[in-house]
Amino acid sequence: MVGSASIYSKQGNLLEPAAVLKLYNVKSSSNVTSLITGTLKSLINSKNDPNFFGPISMSMLSFISYKYTYASNKSHHSYFEGSDVPSSSLNIGSFCRVFSSSVLTRQFPLRYSSRCVPGKNCSPLAVFYSPRTVSLKNFECLEDKRRLRVLVDFADNRYRQQLLPFSTRTTLVGEGSWDAEKNQLCVVACQFMNVTATFNNTHIGDCTTILSVRFPAIWTMRNSSSIVGQIWSTKNSTEWGYFENITFGNDHRDAADRLVLQGQKYEYTKVDKVTKSCPRKNSTAKKKNNIYPNPFSFDMRFDMWAKNSTAEIAWGYAVPLSVDIQFYHMYIYSMEDGTEEYSVAPVSAPVSYRYNHKNSYNISYRMGLRIDDVRLPSGIYQMVISAEGIYDDTEGSLCMVGCRNLVSNSHQQPTYDSMDCEIVVNIQFPPTNRKSTDSGNIKGSIEST
C-alpha cells in the first residue's frame, strides 16, 4: 500500500510524508508460530527533504486462515507432580466471558520450586532473572470450540507499567483449549526467536512451555486462590532452556480481584485449632451498648500499617474471602445523590446479605504485608498470609490461624513446596457506633507460634 499523511514538525511546519507499506505472509495459512513481517519506507529519496524518514520495521500476529494445531494435542493436557485434580462438576458458563475477564489479565505472583537455581533452571524466558509475575492477555476467543489465543506476559516487577502492548523478550505467544473433563485451560506457549531491531529474522518457535489455568471447586486455607495455574517445560532437565515447575494464583488483594463461579465453596479446616489458640473473652466484660461491624460488610476489609519489635514499618491489606458458607464479594451501588454505597452479598445475587446476630462466624482472610526499605522476617520484602478463624460480632474480635509460603534463599520468592502454618492473627475492630471524636483504628497482631 502507498499513502501520505499530514503532520506538524516541532517547529510548527506542515509536513506531508509519503510512504509505502509492505507486508509479507499476510494471507498464507498460519498457526501459532506464524508472523507477518513488514516495512514502512519513505517515498522521498533525499535525506535532506524534511518529509523523509528512515525505514520502520514491524511484525504482527496473523489472524487470517489461522489453524489451531498445538492446543488440540491431548498429550499437553497433563498435570505436573504434586498438583491436585479439580472437580469436574464445576460449570464455568460462557468460556469467552470467563477468559476475557479483567481478573485474568491481572498479574499473578509466581511461586518457584525450591529446586530452581536463578540463572540456570528457573525462568521460562531466555533471561538470567526469575520473573515475579505472569498475566494472560486474550486476543482471540472461539466460544463454540472453547479455544483461544493469548499473550503470556512475564514481568520482573508487578507494578511495572508497560507503554507498549508487549515486549518480545518477556512475552510468549500461545494457543489454548478448554478440557472440560479436567476443568482446566491448557496453553502451549512459544517464544519470539532471533529478536533484532529490524525483525528481519525474527520468528516464533520453541513451543516447549505449557501453562494450565483452572478454578478450584474447593478453597481451603492452604489453597485459597480462586484461580490457580502451573507452568512447566516439556524439555529434558539436561536441555538448554529447561526450567523447574512454577505455580501461580491470584492474591485477592481486592474483593473484586477474584473470579467466583457457581459451585465453588470455602472449606474450613482449622476452626478447632482456632478455639484452642484463641480463648474466648469473659462475656461479663462485654459492653452491651457497643455495636461492631456486620461480618458481611465493607468494614471487614481494611488496609494497615504494621511494625515489628525493632519498629520497622510495613504496609499491607486484609481482605475477607468467605463468611460462613458465603463468599465475601463487594458490590458498589451508585446512589441518586451521586455518592456510592458499598455492600457485600452472596455471589448468586447482588443484594445486601441480611444476617442474624449469632455471636460468632467462621471467616477466612487473605492478608499481605510489603516493605521497601527494610525486610520482614526471613529477609523478605513481602509476605502473604491465608488465614481462617472466628469473628465475634458482640465484641468485635477476630482470631485466626494462618499459613504463608516460605521463601527460598536462592531467589527470594515464595516457593510452592514449603509452607509455614504456625501463625496466629488477632484483630480487634472498633465499635461502629463510636463517636466521631473517638479513635476508630483497627488494632491487631500477627505472631509466629
- Residuewise pLDDT in 10s, the chain (449 residues): 999 999 998 899 999 999 999 998 888 778 888 888 889 999 999 999 999 999 998 888 888 888 898 866 655 555 544 444 444 556 788 889 888 877 777 888 888 888 888 778 888 987 777 888 899 998 899 999 999 999 999 987 644 555 566 788 889 999 999 988 888 899 999 999 888 777 777 889 999 999 999 888 888 998 888 889 999 999 999 999 899 999 998 876 665 567 777 778 899 998 888 888 777 665 544 556 788 998 988 889 999 988 877 777 788 899 999 999 888 865 444 445 544 444 444 443 334 445 555 678 999 999 988 775 555 555 566 788 999 999 998 899 999 999 987 765 445 566 666 788 999 999 999 998 876 555 678 999 999 98
Nearest CA-CA partner of 39 in 200, 160, 174, 186: 200
Q: For the beta carbon of residue 332, count every other beta carbon within 10 angstroms.
A: 11
**If residue 363 lies in a helix (H) or strand (E), which one and from where to where?**
strand 360-370
Q: How far apart are CA 118 and CA 283, in angstroms?
A: 54
Residue labelled with grid coordinates 509505502: 20
CA 117 to each of CA 123, 290, 297, 409: distance values in angstroms, whole numbers, following the listed order: 9, 55, 45, 10
315 phi/psi in degrees, rounded to 5: -120, 150
Rounded CA-CA distance 299/437 in Å is 18
Instruction: Count Cβ atoms below 10 Å from residue 280 Cβ, excluding itself.
Output: 13
3-state secondary structure of 288: coil
What 3-state DSSP class applies to 104? helix
What residues contact residue 82 under an 8 Å CB cut-off, 6+ apart?
Answer: 416, 417
CA proximity to 230, closest of 217, 243, 219, 239: 243
Dist CA 427 CA 391 (whole Å): 9
- Please give the model's pTM, rounded to 2 decimal places: 0.79
The closest alpha carbon to 291, from 166, 422, 395, 418, belongs to 395
Q: What pLDDT, on a 0 to 100 scale, did the predictor assign at position 381?
A: 66
d(CA 341, CA 363): 23
Look at the chain and count its residues: 449
Nearest alpha-carbon partner for 178 in 65, 77, 68, 67: 77
Class of residue 279 by CB neighbours under 10 A (exposed 0-12, middle 13-18, buried 19+): exposed
* Cα(247)–Cα(172) distance, integer angstroms: 17
Spatial strand order of the sheet with 18-24 comes to: 2-4, 18-24, 35-42, 56-61
